[in-house]
């Protein structure tokens, strides 16, 4: 009788382990079945880290004082001097000509490279 009892207990233990294993396999299978499918990865571009000043140019021949003040080293007084100079002497032929304005140096005007431009009247017409 004792052997029968041990045999029955062993059989029940094996059935319990098998049922637990089947439940674990079922849970893992259902987890994969109902899992959200992976979306195809979209290549994300890094944010544009170039300064805003490199995306547009200040036209020395048409810019107002506020626009001229965005150039390095140009404040309200230098902006007024640029405007007065172009009113008296006409439009600038090239950016380097702005060094002739009183209060501006060649080094200062050279620092505007990539930020300042001059358009002649022929270039601005369509």
Per-residue model confidence (pLDDT) at position 96: 92
Please check whether residue 117 is in contact with residue 57, taking contact to mean a CB–CB distance below 8 angstroms: yes
What is the spatial distance between Cα 78 and Cα 101, in angstroms, rounded to a whole number? Answer: 9
Cβ burial of 115 (10 Å; 0-12, 13-18, 19+) is middle
pTM for the model? 0.53
Written as six digits, the tokens of 31 are: 């987890």
Q: Report the phi/psi class of residue 114: left, alpha or beta, with left for phi > 0 and alpha for psi in -120 to 50.
A: left
- pLDDT per residue, tens digit, the chain (126 aa), is 566 766 787 888 899 999 999 999 999 988 888 887 776 666 666 666 655 545 578 999 999 999 999 999 999 999 999 999 999 999 999 999 999 999 999 999 999 988 899 986 544 444
Could you tell me the sign of the dihedral formed by the alpha carbons of 27, 32, 36, 38, in that order? positive
Question: Tokens 């637990």 — which residue?
Answer: 20
Please check whether residue 68 is in contact with residue 58, taking contact to mean a CB–CB distance below 8 angstroms: yes
Per-residue model confidence (pLDDT) at position 126: 42
């Amino acid at each position: 009788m004792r052997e029968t009892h041990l045999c029955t207990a062993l059989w029940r233990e094996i059935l319990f382990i098998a049922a637990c294993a089947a439940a674990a396999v079922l849970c893992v299978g259902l987890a994969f079945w109902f899992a959200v499918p992976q979306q195809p990865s979209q290549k994300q571009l890094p944010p544009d880290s170039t300064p805003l000043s490199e995306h547009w140019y200040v036209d020395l021949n048409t810019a107002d004082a506020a626009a001229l003040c965005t150039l390095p080293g140009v404040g309200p007084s230098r902006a007024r001097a640029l405007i007065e100079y172009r009113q008296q002497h006409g439009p600038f032929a090239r950016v380097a000509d702005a060094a002739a304005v009183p209060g501006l140096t060649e080094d200062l005007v050279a620092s505007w490279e990539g930020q300042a431009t001059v358009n002649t009247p022929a270039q601005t017409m369509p």
